[in-house]
Amino acid sequence: MIQPGIVGKYPSKMLTPQPGTEAKNSRTGATTVPMPPVSLSSSYDEALNQLIPPGRLATSATVNTALDTLPQPGILQSSSRLLSLMRKSHPQECAALLGLTVGVAASSYAITFSLGHLVDALAAGAQGGGISPTIIKWGVTLALASGVHQVCTLLDTFFHTKLEALASRRIEDLVSTAVAHYQVANIESENFRTLVTRVNNNQHSIVEFLKGTFEGISSLTGVVVAAAALAQGHWAISAAVLAATIPGLLAERKYAQEKFKTETEVADAHRRYVWHNWFLTEPKFLKELTLLKQAGYVKDRALSFLDQINHKIIRLDTVQNTRRLIASAGMEISVWGAGTYLVYQTVTNPAHSIGQGVFLLSSLLYFRDQVSHFSSNIGNQLKDLAFVQDALRLSDIGERSHSVNQSVANKRLTLSSGAPRIELRDVSFAYPSGRSIFDSLNLTIEPGSFIGIVGENGSGKTTLMNLIAGIYRPTSGAIFVDGIDMREVDETQWRSIVSLMFQGAYPYESFTVRQSIELGQPAGRDPLGLNEALKLSGADRVVASLPKGLDTVLGSGFNGGQDLSSGQLQTLTAARMFYRNPLILLLDEPGSNLDIKKQLAQAEAVSRFSDNKRTRLLISHSFATISKASRILFVHQGRIIEDGTHEELLALGGAYATSYLEEKKRFGEASQESNTL
């Protein structure tokens, strides 16, 4: 009987369902647990806690659900979060900027106030026929206020610029750290890529949002100061000008909604445009495109994607600019109407002095400017809010799922005798697209074994490697390591003993050769000696051929950089694997870019490196290499259909034997043809 909290037959850290809420998969018979519904009234923090509860493993499915359903944080919460991020990382700059904000507003009020009194003093002096002490007092006060205002404004601009640069780096760190916390199954999903594309394309919007938050505080302070001045008998003017800002705010709110929708619609076109541009600038692609005379075709495709993006954005901005023009006209009419009223009151009302009129009129114009700035800031905040919400959701869900999983996955392996025993029990796996690879797969890998994996393309060989490495998580079933569910094993420790050599060899361009190898540094364990890793992999010969040896920069696009061949890059990848000093070696076509002689030399090096304490799994289409494995698995459509030694599988006369004889025949014909030539 399947117990609550169990997926298939094995324990899972999924949410424990209420009785009667379990659902059975009609195809696999596995029990799945529904996610709890998120109440629309839940606050952001409550909803996050509900979607990714503490003490329960956050699977890729859980995370995808959270990404799709987590409510967006509001504008005040978003502003508060970003301010908090900056305050924690740069407290002195934030405090200085807020102090200067108050200084700018206070000095502006002092200028207006002292100007009004100076005008009245000058009027009285004109009648008295001399420069009175009152004129000197208010003149000096005005000069001091102007000087303080100028200094505060300059320093305010300086700290705004400095914080903008610091914020840009902080946001970049926030996003890259967040993405690193997600599982590969999430990163490979279309929805996740669209979200990350939106965030990356609009990081400047996030910085602008933060900048606007500081400017909004400054404008709001100015509005309060000016409103206090106008409220001295003319509070209705303040209310009228504030009311005139409402159409503009509504227009900006509408624009924010349409802008977010448009950015979502063009995300795919933007990714395609970036890729096509890369094809046109990356030498390895441009070389072939030039040879094929297709660079123009790719350029036209890139421009067509750019046209799709620009068409939607220009149309949206045209509509918005029309709205802004209408709202601005209404604002100006209200201000000039209020100004005319103040002038009329000053001229016709004996109780109003000229200085008081100047003070009120200056306060009105300052009030208009600050309200306009504040309204503009709110509009910009609304426009950029959606991208800030994206970044915060991306960060919060990634950080929360990572921290929850870290708290759950805290069991450490002993590893006193070398590599652990690995068991796959009823493991099923499907990609986010729905494509199923494995269904109830069972496999035991004994410590120190050497297992070869063969099969046609797309049969699930690489996916199996990714599952064992912990890059992918089973959809159902479980993988056990020395009897412990892998989901409960300390992830850092597990990753430190595993090395997965992928089929492709990718250069870490702009890194030196030394730096690219030292990326294999295992956490909490001693690496192999660098020279030993170079000799084992054969990379010592590659390094010797480079102009600056280990200090040669990878990539000819950099000063003094060097491009390496695919075979040389694969040799460096092998050096990085050996340097990691792993207990489990997962080799996915490690010699695909090497000639047969170097493939055999690499296999011999791996054999010398791997004593009975290290486990090796090798995917290869070369039977000369795979035949040396002590156990061979033939994988077909997600199932292991043959399992045995090279000799046993040949005697069986099945799929392995057929593939082996076909390769032998091909090589025999090739050898015969070579002798004929």
Name the helix (H) or strand (E) containing 598: helix 596-609
Domain-by-domain residue ranges, the chain? Answer: 6-69, 75-405, 422-676
Same fold, 75-405 and 422-676: no
pLDDT at site 395: 86
Burial (Cβ within 10 Å: 0-12, 13-18, ≥19) of residue 249: middle
Give the tens place of pLDDT for each residue, 530-546.
999 999 888 999 999 99
Decide if pLDDT at 41 tops 50: no
- Helices marked H in 349-450 — which ranges? 354-408
Closest CA to 524 of 482, 498, 490, 492: 492
**CATH for the stretch 422-676:** 3.40.50.300
Say what percent of the chain tops pLDDT 70: 91
Closest CA to 609 of 499, 466, 494, 493: 499
Decide if pLDDT at 242 tops 80: no
How large is the average pLDDT for residues 170-193?
A: 79
Q: Transcribe 442-484 into DSSP letters.
A: EEEE-TT-EEEEE--TTSSHHHHHHHHHTSS--SEEEEEETTE
pLDDT at site 3: 27
pLDDT at site 129: 60
How large is the average pLDDT for residues 606-633?
A: 86
pLDDT at site 30: 36
Instruction: State which CATH number among 1.20.1560.10, 1.10.540.10, 3.30.365.10, 3.40.30.160 fits the domain covering 75-405.
Output: 1.20.1560.10
Give residue for tokens 């094929």.
292
Most confident of 222-226, 242-246, 434-438: 434-438
Q: Transcribe 540-555 into DSSP letters.
A: HHHHHTSTTGGGPEE-
The pLDDT-based confidence of 438 (bands split at 50, 70, 90) is very high
Give the tens place of pLDDT for each residue, 368-408.
788 777 877 777 777 788 788 888 888 888 888 888 887 87
State the virtual CA torsion across 545, 548, 553, 557 in degrees, nearest 10. -80
pLDDT at site 17: 33
Q: For residue 78, give the amino acid letter.
A: S
Q: How many CB atoms lie within 10 A of CB 150?
A: 12
Q: For residue 113, give the amino acid letter.
A: F
Closest CA to 578 of 665, 623, 511, 520: 520
Say what percent of the chain tops pLDDT 90: 23
pLDDT at site 124: 78
pLDDT at site 25: 38
Tell me how far apart the terminal alpha carbons of the chain are, to the nearest angstrom: 69
pLDDT at site 219: 82
Q: Note whether 432 and 606 are within 8 A (CB).
A: no
The pLDDT-based confidence of 32 (bands split at 50, 70, 90) is very low
Phi and psi at residue 50, in whole multiples of 5°?
A: -75, -40
Q: Note whether 470 and 480 are within 8 A (CB).
A: no
pTM to 2 decimals?
Answer: 0.67
Rounded-to-integer distance, Cα 574 and Cα 499, Å: 10
Give the tens place of pLDDT for each residue, 279-317.
888 777 877 788 788 888 999 999 999 999 999 999 998
Question: 414 or 367: whose pLDDT is higher?
Answer: 414
The pLDDT-based confidence of 677 (bands split at 50, 70, 90) is very low
What's the mean per-residue pLDDT of the chain? 81
Decide if pLDDT at 424 tops 90: yes
pLDDT at site 450: 93
pLDDT at site 232: 67
pLDDT at site 609: 83
Give residue for tokens 């915060």.
392
Q: By three-state DSSP, how is residue 355 classified?
A: helix
pLDDT at site 420: 93
Decide if pLDDT at 12 tops 60: no
Separation of CA 322 from chain center:
35
Rounded-to-integer distance, Cα 408 and Cα 94, Å: 37
Q: Note whether 79 and 389 are within 8 A (CB).
A: no
The pLDDT-based confidence of 16 (bands split at 50, 70, 90) is very low
128-142, 263-277, 429-443: the lowest-pLDDT one: 128-142
CA Rg, the chain, in Å?
34
Give the tens place of pLDDT for each residue, 358-373.
888 888 888 778 877 7
The pLDDT-based confidence of 224 (bands split at 50, 70, 90) is confident
Closest CA to 514 of 475, 586, 572, 462: 572
pLDDT at site 127: 65
Name the DSSP class of 424: E
Decide if pLDDT at 570 tops 80: yes
Give the tens place of pLDDT for each residue, 640-667.
999 999 999 999 999 999 999 888 877 6
Q: Longest C-alpha distance within the chain, in Å?
A: 124
Give the tens place of pLDDT for each residue, 334-361.
888 888 887 877 777 777 778 878 888 8
Structure tokens belonging to residue 75: 């504008």
